[in-house]
Amino acid sequence: MDHVKVQYAKTHLSALLAAVERGEEVVIARGDQPVARLVPIGDRADRDLGFVAYAVPEDVLDPLPDDELAAWDGSA
């Protein structure tokens, strides 16, 4: 695991990202105090999108009934 200072990280970000892509971890420090860690995010192909099974209803873009419109604009 490499330790680098903030200024070095700002100047050499592309090289640090290339190292992370190769599987290395990089710790960024402000002075002698570590503040961040760059790590590979892993295989993005394994990630499922979404949190719940949900289908958008067919009538999602249909106009609202008059009573619902009145409730939204406060005239109900």
Q: Which domains does the chain have, with CATH numbers?
A: 1-40 (3.40.1620.10)
| Greater model confidence, 50 or 13 | 13
> Side chain identity at 45, as an amino acid letter?
A
Q: Cα–Cα distance between 6 and 11 in angstroms, integer?
A: 9
Model confidence at 20, pLDDT cuts 50, 70, 90, reads: very high
DSSP state of 64: P
pTM equals 0.54
- What pLDDT, on a 0 to 100 scale, did the predictor assign at position 45? 65
Give the integer Cα–Cα distance in Å for 60 and 41: 36
Q: How much is the average pLDDT of 38-65? A: 81
